[in-house]
Amino acid sequence: MTTKSPEATLGQKHIQGATGPWEIVIGLEVHAQVSSNAKLFSGAATEFGAEPNSQVSLVDAAMPGMLPVINEYCVEQAIRTGLGLEAEINLYSVFDRKNYFYPDLPQGYQISQFKQPIVGEGEVHVDLADGTTSVIGIERLHLEQDAGKSTHDMHPSKSFVDLNRSGVALMEIVSKPDIRSSEEATLYMSKIRSIVRYLGTCDGNMEQGSMRADVNVSVRRPGEELGTRCEMKNMNSLRFIRAAIEYEARRQIDVIEDGGTIDQETRLWDAVNNVTRTMRSKEEAHDYRYFPDPDLLPLEFSQAWVDEIKSTLPELPDAKKARFISDFGLSPYDASVLVADKARAAYFEEVAEGRDGKLASNWVTSDLFGALKKVSKDISDSPVSAKQLGKLIDLIKDDTISGKIAKQVFAIMFETGGEPMAIVEEKGLRQVTDTGAIEAAVDEVIAANPDKAAEVKEKPKAMGWFVGQVMKATQGKANPQAVNEILRKKLGI
Ligand code: ADP
Ligand code: MG
């Protein structure tokens, strides 16, 4: 089978097969752990990285006779998330038992929501690199418990079970099969992460497994009915999601073009060999025998409560993006980069307030984000505060320093955390606007290069060389505009 073709078309809307173009169809089931100190049906703690089995109540361990009690805070977070996804909130929903056996599931069933979830249809807007925005439909969001964790590689003949995760509240956010490329899938996942972080309903930490996705992929020829899908479970890296989709789409196209058919199955992403492989086929798939959990009443709340929650929602990324475009004159791309993270957006806003928005955006997105990335620091640990970066921009605007010198000052600020003005004074970086000093430097350069000075009269474009020499002679501190004017005058052009 021919797989892993390197063609550049992967990640785009259509991929070319031997028999013509194909469309990839993707649907994501995102599991987002509710940011809550206590579990969904017990008061046990949920802290990440705790000693195994140290955060397990009798309910989580499924001791006989224990009864679940719904955690109202988790319900509120699910409603907040539903509102953030512009989704319908169901005032009446039902918890069901999803029955299956696994050693890390002591109850023998997971409490989930099946036919009547707490949140219904909604939508998410995804900004693509080509400047277009696609709308991905949300099918539903339901609340469910997480299972425990089994470890099979700590002992040659034993497996270990840690029930700390058992009973932790998850929101499962199910998309419609509206996603059409690996790029769109990762951007969708990032957008969901951005929204839940803005809302504070999930920390979005994919490495710790607080956010992970089941990725469903099928292919079809454009215009045809949906094809049979394969599902890759529990993916918690955007890079792997992207790679798995691209591999899987190509695999399915090759199978169909070779005259085969796709079996609906669960496949695993093998990150070592960069392939997906069969985990279980549909024939082996579970019949979960869902039924309403008799230990729990249906979940019912009032519209007034939903409205009250709605009134506390923060400004979300889409609204913030629109405001940054209109208030600060940013391009849609720059605005979407800035709003992706709440703390970054707040930082930018503090820098831009009362200043040139475009200039502020350039400094924040290129210089600051670039420098932070180099030292793997988060915006919250930035050595340069928003106030300081704002002051640096003021120094450029009032001609205290040139844009070029500002880069030097910024590097020192980033290194030392110092104040821009203090650095300018200490290092003597103040822009030279004194025309006498600039004239002297210009005279010196012209005197040292008479041939070039003669040449430049014929070829005025060559003046750039002189500008460079004068800037060098003044350690970059001369006001560039003044240098240009004086040179032009003295060279007679
Ligand atoms: P299940 O819960 O059994 O996995 P669902 O019908 O809830 O099944 O669908 C799960 C996910 O699969 C959804 O995100 C949906 O958008 C996606 N999906 C459904 N059909 C297809 C398809 N033909 N191709 C790709 N994704 C699909
Ligand atoms: Mg599924």
Going from N- to C-terminal start, the domains of the chain cover 3-310, 317-427, 435-491
Report the alpha-carbon distance of residue 239 to residue 277 in Å, rounded. 18
- Name the closest-CA residue to atom 14, ligand 1: 27
Name the closest ligand to CA 27: 1
Q: Where are the beta strands (DSSP E) in 77-163?
A: 92-93, 96-99, 109-112, 122-127, 133-145, 149-151, 160-162
Axis crossing angle, helix 480-491 with helix 450-458, rounded to the nearest 10: 90
Task: Give me the pLDDT at residue 285, please.
Answer: 59
**Closest ligand 1 atom, residue 177 Cα:** 16
Report the alpha-carbon distance of residue 173 to residue 137 in Å, rounded. 11
Report the alpha-carbon distance of residue 289 to residue 287 in Å, rounded. 6
Rounded distance from Cα 24 to ligand 1 centre (Å): 13
Rounded distance from Cα 119 to ligand 2 centre (Å): 17
Rounded distance from Cα 108 to ligand 2 centre (Å): 19
Q: Which residues, given as ranges, of the chain have pLDDT below 70?
A: 1-12, 282-286
Q: Cβ(81)–Cβ(139) under 8 Å?
A: no
Query: DSSP letters of 27-49?
Result: EEEEEEE---SB-SSS--B--TT
Ligand 1 contact, 229 CB (< 6 A): yes
Residues measured by CB to lie within 5 Å of ligand 2, the ion: 214
- Residue whose C-alpha is closest to residue 110's, from 281, 231, 289: 289
- Name the closest-CA residue to atom 13, ligand 1: 27
Ligand 1 contact, 216 CB (< 6 A): yes
Ligand 1 contact, 25 CB (< 6 A): yes
Q: Cβ(266)–Cβ(228) under 8 Å?
A: no
Ligand 1 contact, 28 CB (< 6 A): yes
Structure confidence by residue, pLDDT tens digits, 233-289: 999 999 999 999 999 999 999 999 999 999 999 999 999 999 999 887 765 556 899
Give Cβ neighbours of residue 125 (< 8 Å, ≥ 6 apart): 133, 134, 135, 136, 191, 318
Around Cβ 247, how many Cβ atoms within 10 Å?
Answer: 22
Q: Cβ(147)–Cβ(168) under 8 Å?
A: no
Task: Give me the pLDDT at residue 455, please.
Answer: 87
Task: Give me the pLDDT at residue 435, please.
Answer: 82
Give Cβ neighbours of residue 132 (< 8 Å, ≥ 6 apart): none
Rounded distance from Cα 266 to ligand 2 centre (Å): 9
| Domain 435-491: assigned CATH number | 1.10.10.410
The verdict on pTM exceeding 0.85 is yes
Q: Cβ(483)–Cβ(443) under 8 Å?
A: no
Rounded distance from Cα 28 to ligand 1 centre (Å): 7
Rounded distance from Cα 265 to ligand 2 centre (Å): 10
Report the alpha-carbon distance of residue 301 to residue 311 in Å, rounded. 16
Rounded distance from Cα 91 to ligand 1 centre (Å): 25
Q: Cβ(134)–Cβ(184) under 8 Å?
A: yes
Ligand 1 contact, 164 CB (< 6 A): no
Mutate which of 229, 253, 287, 288 for ligand 1 pocket (most atoms within 8 A of beta carbon): 229
Rounded distance from Cα 326 to ligand 2 centre (Å): 40
Axis crossing angle, helix 342-352 with helix 317-328, rounded to the nearest 10: 20
Ligand 1 contact, 285 CB (< 6 A): no
Task: Give me the pLDDT at residue 12, please.
Answer: 58
Ligand 1 contact, 266 CB (< 6 A): no
Ligand 1 contact, 226 CB (< 6 A): yes
**Closest ligand 1 atom, residue 218 Cα:** 24
Rounded distance from Cα 215 to ligand 1 centre (Å): 9
**Amino acid identity at 219:** V
Burial of 255 (0-12, 13-18, 19+ CB in 10 A): middle
Could you tell me the strand order of the sheet in which 96-99 lies?
109-112, 96-99, 291-292
Q: Are strands 20-33 and 211-220 parallel, antiparallel or unpaired?
A: antiparallel
**Closest ligand 1 atom, residue 227 Cα:** 23
> Tokens for 276?
């997906």
Number of H helices, E strands in the chain: 16, 16
Task: Give me the pLDDT at residue 10, please.
Answer: 42
Give the angle 228-233-238 at the CA atoms, nearest 5°: 105
**Closest ligand 1 atom, residue 28 Cα:** 14
Name the closest ligand to CA 233: 2
| Residue entry with tokens 């350690």 | 475
Give Cβ neighbours of residue 364 (< 8 Å, ≥ 6 apart): 338, 344, 347, 348, 351, 352, 389
Q: Are strands 169-175 and 211-220 parallel, antiparallel or unpaired?
A: unpaired
H or E stretch at 441: helix 435-448
| Residue entry with tokens 């996705």 | 213
Ligand 1 contact, 218 CB (< 6 A): yes
Rounded to a whole number of angstroms, the distance between the first and last alpha carbons of the chain is 69
Ligand 1 contact, 383 CB (< 6 A): no
Name the closest ligand to CA 139: 1
Rounded distance from Cα 213 to ligand 2 centre (Å): 10
β-strand partners of 133: 127
Rounded distance from Cα 466 to ligand 1 centre (Å): 66
